[in-house]
């Protein structure tokens, strides 16, 4: 099902690019062939690899690179992982003597290009005679590369040295000869040497596939032509990306997201983004983010770039060929020493699921605000999807008496964000993983000492909205077949609603992690009690309990974040709410409380729904609404309820579709709305002590315009500063 990103379409006809003459037919043939080669690399990797992260979840990357490290092709793989191999290539170009045919380099250093040490990369130069034409690159998440804790995620680490083996760039294959001494040294550092060894073989096979295929292309068309096609592919995507950016409104978008707990203490960190869009360029300034943390949540500068890419490719890359061209119009600005640009030797073991993930959240939000304020792309506006990935790792000795390690991918099953045009997908997963997958419960139980109590959707977790977010999944499990094992549990987003909504849509529920000690019961007693409906004595784990022992009869239970909603929940069609209730994903209580929909025996009670919705609007603004929203209201739409209007004198104003004037002279409309701090309890949202939430309403209609998450000590950001 996975494949190679789409060929180009839907772009203005333009004359062929200037430069060396390249037959457009040959261009297309070679371009298709390069995409096919990238796909063949994926298949080679997934066939040989023994890591569930690779075989089940496509947590890997394959691509073809220009000599300078720019990527010309990639598969539909974790978008965060697009930049690292390029950084490795640049490092080799700068710091190593010239590569020779048949060489392959391995690396995993987050201070060179990796996101964290688990991301092991390999790259090999592809020559035509003695001329370097391209690099083939591959990387994958390896379950364990050493360090203080199993799976190399070390909550108590204070330096990167504690987080496992770090390889800046080492030649593992020298002119076709595997350096088995180096390989032995690398796998010896891992708690799972066989698994890492098999994957490194998969990497070698992947690069061999690419090299062979490229050589036959060189033989047929000439390496100059193939290299020119690769360059053209990048410039074509760059041109299309710029054309796309040019259609977004000029101005600034200021957004901020948070992550809690740095492994040592439950401190709150902000990732702050000012996105400035001018013409066909976009500058992303993260300078307002928190200083780096003492614990493993930091991202290096390479991680920041990965986080940006994780949102940029899925959000702006629709219908484009995915390559470096998407990144060329983007400038990333931030000083060193922030949580997203940590200085060596800060620990970064959980960067991918902490700061990098949060960077992806803010870039997603900023880009979707811009898309939503552009007439051509407004329908594409999407709320944030799965704003966190909670970690559940388990290590020890398995039911077969072998050392084992499990990095659960089930937590990918958060909800996806609502679109302007339709609801988000239940358990749709994050946008940075274009082809997500999780293993069957049976597959997990077969090879690991687990017994699941359930894996299912959790009702009332989707961000409410006119378009609902997707509901999150949840799982509960105990151990079976062993006497015990060590669990490692950590997340952000237990006290931060990261999966925020758009235009009055609510954030999805926050993560909830719980533990119930077995207290002498075994797994079978437990399951029987569970099926009988008994609730064990839960302990709330908070965001990062870290490593703890687990035994059969103990239960670990977690639910993930739902996707953000879009638009005021009171605008959702009552029939859609009734259908959600019938499906059992929304409770009748929630339907009434949040959506204002009253059901009688499953059917919408029209009259009481009208009354209920009116009462909610009245409560919001402290008085009965005096006007209703008019979707046909004139002006440039900034989402469903706001219009940017230019007055006769040329001034900018923001009006609601009900006719209220919220701001004059700028798009800082929040000043004119009725704003109230709100309690998110009904939405299964928990808030960190330092956070608060504010809702903004149209003073005339009571329509919900935005739900903001912000520092308790501050007012919400005025996100939009557009200069239309």
Partner 1 sequence: MRFRVGTDVGGTFTDLWVYGDDGRQAVLKAPSTADIIGGILRAVELAADHFELSVEEFCASIDRFGHGTTAGLNALLTSSAAPTALITTAGFRDTLEIGRLKRQLAGLTELEIGDYRNRGRWPAVVPRQLVFEIGERVDSAGEVVVPLERSEIDRVLDLVAAAEVEAVAVATLWSVANPEHEQRIAAALRERFPQLFVSLSHEVAPAVGEYARMSTTAVNAALGPVMSAYLRRLDEALRQRGLAVPVVVMTSEGGVVSADVVSDQPVSVLMSGPAAGVIACREIGHRLGHDKLLTVDVGGTSFDVGTVVKGEPLMRSRLTIGGADIQRPAIDVGTIGAGGGSIARVRDGALTVGPFSAGARPGPVCYGRGGTEPTATDADLVLGVLDEEDFAGGTMRLDRAAAADAIEERVAKPLGLGVLEAAWGIRQVLDSKMADLLRSVTIEKGHDPREFVLFAGGGQGPSHAWALCRELGIRTFVVTPTATGQSAFGTGTCELKRTVSRPHYLRLPGDGEIRAEDVAPLAEKLAAMTAEAEAASTAGPAQGERGELTIRRTAAIRYRGQAHHLDVPVAEELSSPAALGKTLRCFEEQYEALYGTGSAFREAGFELTGLRVLASRRLDGQVRPAARDELEPHGTRGVVFDDPLKPVDCQVHRTAFPAPGQTVSGPCLVMFPGQTLVVPPGAVARTDELGDFVVTLDDTEDEGASR
Does position 52 bind partner 1 by CB under 8 A?
A: yes
Q: Token digits for 708?
A: 């903001």
Does position 95 bind partner 1 by CB under 8 A?
A: no
3-state secondary structure of 177: strand
Does position 608 bind partner 1 by CB under 8 A?
A: no
Does position 412 bind partner 1 by CB under 8 A?
A: yes
Which residue's CB is nearer to partner 1, number 96 or number 514?
514
Which residue's CB is nearer to partner 1, number 438 or number 720?
438
Which residue's CB is nearer to partner 1, number 379 or number 630?
379
- How buried is residue 486: exposed, middle or buried, by Cβ count under 10 Å (0-12/13-18/19+)? middle
Of 23-31, 247-255, 283-291, 671-679, which segment contacts partner 1 by CB under 8 A?
23-31
Does position 422 bind partner 1 by CB under 8 A?
A: yes
Does position 113 bind partner 1 by CB under 8 A?
A: no
Instruction: Name the strands in the sheet holding 691-697, side by side, starting at the edge strand that comes first in the sequence.
Output: 674-677, 691-697, 704-711
- Rounded CA Rg of the chain: 26
Buried b (16+ CB within 10 A) or exposed e, 409-421: bbbbbbbbbbbbe
Of 95-103, 195-203, 281-289, 351-359, which segment contacts partner 1 by CB under 8 A?
195-203
Distance CA 643, CA 566 (A): 17
Which residue's CB is nearer to partner 1, number 432 or number 594?
432
In sequence order, the β-bridge partners of residue 124 are 136
Task: Decide: 212 and 188 in contact? Cβ < 8 Å.
Answer: no
Closest CA to 386 of 422, 411, 416: 416
Shortest distance in whole angstroms from residue 369 CB to partner 1 = 17
Angle at 710 between CA 708 and CA 711, to 5 degrees: 160
| Total of chain residues touching partner 1, rule CB under 8 A | 110
Shortest distance in whole angstroms from residue 600 CB to partner 1 = 18
Does position 220 bind partner 1 by CB under 8 A?
A: yes
Shortest distance in whole angstroms from residue 353 CB to partner 1 = 17
Shortest distance in whole angstroms from residue 531 CB to partner 1 = 4
- How buried is residue 656: exposed, middle or buried, by Cβ count under 10 Å (0-12/13-18/19+)? buried
Does position 236 bind partner 1 by CB under 8 A?
A: yes
Shortest distance in whole angstroms from residue 182 CB to partner 1 = 16
Angle at 21 between CA 16 and CA 27, to 5 degrees: 65
Task: Decide: 307 and 315 in contact? Cβ < 8 Å.
Answer: no
Does position 564 bind partner 1 by CB under 8 A?
A: no
Does position 280 bind partner 1 by CB under 8 A?
A: no
Of 209-217, 331-339, 353-361, 592-600, which segment contacts partner 1 by CB under 8 A?
209-217
Q: Token digits for 571?
A: 């605008």
Q: What is the x/- site pattern for partner 1, positions 668-687, by CB under 8 A?
A: --------------------
Which residue's CB is nearer to partner 1, number 335 or number 584?
584
Shortest distance in whole angstroms from residue 677 CB to partner 1 = 33
Task: Decide: 110 and 118 in contact? Cβ < 8 Å.
Answer: no
Residues across the chain: 724
Which residue's CB is nearer to partner 1, number 302 or number 384?
384
Positions in 458-477 near partner 1 (CB under 8 A): 473, 476
Which residue's CB is nearer to partner 1, number 532 or number 713?
532
Does position 36 bind partner 1 by CB under 8 A?
A: yes
Q: What is the x/- site pattern for partner 1, positions 508-547, by CB under 8 A?
A: ---------------xx--xx-xx----------------
Shortest distance in whole angstroms from residue 33 CB to partner 1 = 6
Positions in 369-398 near partner 1 (CB under 8 A): 379-380, 382
Does position 182 bind partner 1 by CB under 8 A?
A: no
Report the sign of the C-alpha dihedral through residues 84, 11, 433, 46, in that order.
negative
- How buried is residue 628: exposed, middle or buried, by Cβ count under 10 Å (0-12/13-18/19+)? middle
Does position 440 bind partner 1 by CB under 8 A?
A: yes
End-to-end CA distance of the chain: 42
Shortest distance in whole angstroms from residue 443 CB to partner 1 = 6
Does position 49 bind partner 1 by CB under 8 A?
A: yes
Distance CA 317, CA 368 (A): 13
Distance CA 428, CA 484 (A): 33
Which residue's CB is nearer to partner 1, number 47 or number 278?
47
In sequence order, the β-bridge partners of residue 285 are 274, 333
Which residue's CB is nearer to partner 1, number 475 or number 494?
475
Does position 188 bind partner 1 by CB under 8 A?
A: no
**Residue 629: CB partners within 8 Å, gap ≥ 6?**
571, 641, 656, 657, 658, 698, 701, 703
Shortest distance in whole angstroms from residue 549 CB to partner 1 = 22
Q: In sequence order, what DSSP letters do the residues of 44-59 get, joined into one string?
A: HHHHH---HHHHTT--
Helix/strand number for the chain, H first, E second = 13, 30
Positions in 302-321 near partner 1 (CB under 8 A): 314, 317-320
Using CB under 8 A, pick the residue from 19, 28, 646, 715 that binds partner 1: 28
Does position 197 bind partner 1 by CB under 8 A?
A: yes
């Amino acid at each position: 099902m996975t494949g190679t990103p789409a060929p180009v379409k839907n772009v203005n006809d333009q004359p062929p690019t200037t430069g060396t003459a390249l037959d457009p037919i040959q261009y297309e043939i070679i371009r298709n062939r390069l995409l096919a080669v990238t796909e063949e690399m994926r298949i080679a990797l997934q066939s040989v690899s023994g890591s569930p992260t690779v075989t089940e979840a496509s947590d890997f990357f394959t691509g073809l690179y220009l000599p300078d490290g720019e990527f010309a092709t990639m598969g539909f793989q974790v978008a965060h992982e697009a930049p690292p191999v390029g950084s490795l290539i640049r490092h080799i170009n700068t710091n190593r003597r010239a590569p020779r045919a048949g060489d392959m380099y391995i690396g995993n250093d987050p201070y060179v290009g990796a996101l964290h040490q688990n991301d092991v990369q390999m790259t090999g130069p592809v020559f035509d005679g003695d001329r370097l034409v391209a690099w083939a690159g591959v990387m994958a998440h390896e379950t364990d590369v050493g360090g203080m804790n199993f799976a190399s995620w070390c909550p108590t680490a204070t330096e990167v040295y504690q987080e496992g083996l770090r390889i800046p760039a080492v030649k593992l294959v020298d002119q076709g000869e595997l350096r088995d001494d180096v390989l032995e040294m690398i796998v010896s550092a891992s708690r799972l040497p066989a698994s890492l060894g098999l994957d490194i073989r998969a990497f070698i096979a992947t690069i061999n596939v690419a090299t062979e295929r490229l050589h036959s292309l060189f033989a047929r068309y000439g390496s100059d032509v193939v290299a020119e096609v690769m360059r053209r592919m990048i410039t074509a995507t760059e041109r299309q990306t710029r054309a796309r950016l040019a259609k977004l409104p000029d101005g600034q978008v200021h957004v901020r997201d948070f992550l809690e707990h740095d492994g040592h203490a439950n401190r709150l960190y902000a990732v702050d983004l000012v996105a400035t869009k001018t013409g066909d360029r976009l500058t992303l300034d993260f300078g307002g983010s928190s200083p780096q943390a003492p614990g493993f949540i930091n991202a290096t500068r390479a991680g920041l770039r990965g986080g940006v890419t994780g949102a940029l490719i899925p959000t702006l890359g629709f219908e484009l060929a995915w390559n470096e061209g998407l990144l060329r119009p983007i400038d990333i600005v931030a000083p060193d020493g922030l949580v997203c640009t940590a200085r060596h030797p800060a620990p970064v073991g959980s960067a991918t699921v902490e700061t990098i993930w949060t960077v992806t959240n803010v870039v997603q939000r900023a880009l979707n605000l811009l898309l939503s304020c552009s007439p051509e792309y407004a329908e594409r506006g999407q709320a944030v999807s799965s704003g966190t990935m909670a970690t559940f790792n388990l290590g020890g000795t398995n039911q077969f008496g072998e050392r084992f390690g499990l990095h659960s991918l089930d937590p990918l099953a958060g909800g996806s964000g609502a679109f302007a045009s339709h609801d988000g997908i239940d358990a749709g997963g994050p946008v940075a993983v274009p082809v997500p997958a999780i293993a069957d419960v049976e597959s997990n139980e077969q090879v690991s000492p687990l017994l699941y109590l359930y894996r299912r959707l959790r009702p009332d977790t989707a961000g409410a909205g006119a378009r609902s977010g997707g509901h999150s999944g949840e799982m509960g499990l105990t151990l079976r077949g062993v006497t015990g094992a060590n669990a490692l549990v950590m997340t952000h987003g237990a006290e931060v609603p990261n999966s925020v909504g758009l235009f009055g849509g609510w954030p999805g529920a926050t993560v909830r992690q719980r533990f119930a000690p077995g207290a002498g019961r075994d797994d079978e007693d437990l399951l029987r009690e569970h099926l009988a409906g008994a609730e064990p004595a839960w302990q709330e784990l908070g965001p990062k309990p870290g490593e703890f022992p687990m035994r059969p009869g103990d239960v670990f239970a977690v639910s993930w974040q739902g996707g953000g909603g879009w638009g005021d929940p009171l605008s959702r069609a009552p029939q859609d709410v009734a259908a959600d209730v019938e499906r059992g994903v929304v409770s009748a209580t929630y339907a009434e409380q949040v959506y204002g929909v009253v059901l009688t025996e499953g059917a919408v009670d029209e009259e009481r729904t009208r009354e209920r919705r009116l009462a909610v609007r009245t409560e919001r603004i402290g008085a009965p609404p005096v006007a209703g929203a008019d979707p046909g209201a004139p002006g440039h739409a900034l989402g469903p309820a706001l219009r940017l209007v230019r007055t006769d004198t040329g001034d900018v104003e923001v009006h609601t579709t009900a006719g209220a004037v919220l701001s004059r002279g700028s798009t800082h409309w929040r000043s004119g709305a009725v704003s109230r701090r709100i309690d998110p309890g009904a939405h299964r949202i928990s808030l960190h002590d330092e956070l608060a939430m504010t809702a903004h309403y149209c003073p005339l209609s009571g329509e919900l315009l935005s739900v903001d998450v912000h520092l308790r000590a501050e007012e919400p950001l005025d996100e939009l500063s557009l200069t239309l």
